[in-house]
Amino acid sequence: MSRLRFVADHRALFGVKRLCRVLGVSRSGLYRWQATADARAERVRADTELAAQITEVHAAFDGTYGSPRVTAELRGQGLRINHKRVERVMRCFGIVGVHLRRKVRTTVPEPDAAPVPDLLRREFTAPAPNRKYVGDITYLPIAGGEFLYLATVLDLGSRRLAGWSIADHMRTELVIDALQAAAATRGGNLDGVSFPPLHGHQR
């Protein structure tokens, strides 16, 4: 409880002047604080409502979205929102996305591997969802100096995460699991979707 709140709650019992002197607050400061009480209450209400919307988006993407992607998703839903406010509310309510770091080389090319055709022809856009997917593998540091591998599949049409998987290895199954998760979001198949292969193997 703040000192100003304490004075406001106990003014009838001890008197404003006495409480302000004992607690080291000014009466003018107390009156300003009381005058803005309604505005503060409205801000708390609005922040709580926004936190509920953020939590819904955060849960929909398995907790992987940080404030920039959450902001983009909310704007896509028609909400006019500033990214700094989203960041502040997420921090206040303890909503945290997965922070991905890229400090290690997770794949190395096979020296004798045949060239793989560029299925996307460097065109990283799509006219509609479920036309072109791209994949990535990122490592996640954990305790003991170990790390896990996170495979993600991004839909270039919607710019949304279509599927993901996580494991303590970087074998083919990791990518297959991510693709199967993506397929599950569109009825169980990937017919008509372009997905370039991820190059390399686990070192």
Arithmetic mean of pLDDT over the chain = 78
**C-alpha–C-alpha distance, residues 87 and 96, integer Å:** 10
Pairing of strands 160-167, 147-155: antiparallel
CA distances (Å), 135 to each of 31, 132, 183, 195, 201, in order? Answer: 58, 10, 14, 8, 14
Q: What would the mean pLDDT of 34-40 be, rounded to a whole number?
A: 83
Domain ranges of the chain: 1-35, 44-99, 100-203
CA–CA separation, 20 and 132 (whole Å): 66
Q: How confident is the model at residue 203 (pLDDT cuts 50, 70, 90)?
A: very low
User: Which strands form 147-155's sheet, in the order they lie side by side?
Assistant: 133-141, 147-155, 160-167
Amino acid present at 155: D
Q: What is the pLDDT of residue 200?
A: 44
Q: What is the pLDDT of residue 158?
A: 78
What is the distance in angstroms between the CA of the first residue and the CA of the last residue of the chain? 56
Distance from C-alpha of 94 to C-alpha of 87, rounded to nearest angstrom: 10
Decide if pLDDT at 190 tops 50: yes
Encoded tokens for 1: 């409880």
Q: Indicate if the pLDDT at residue 44 is higher than 80.
A: yes
Structural tokens at position 90:
């997420």
Residue 188 is classified by DSSP as S
**Residue 189 has which token pair?**
């198949």
What's the pLDDT score for residue 202?
44
Enumerate the β-bridge partners of residue 164.
Answer: 152
Dist CA 20 CA 160 (whole Å): 54
Q: What is the mean pLDDT of residues 116-125?
A: 52
Local confidence band at 112 (pLDDT 50, 70, 90 cut-offs): low
pLDDT in tens, 128-178: 777 788 888 887 777 777 778 888 888 887 778 888 888 888 888 888 898
Residue with tokens 């996640």: 140
Place 12 in a pLDDT band, splitting at 50, 70 and 90: confident
* Predicted local distance difference test score (pLDDT) of residue 192: 67
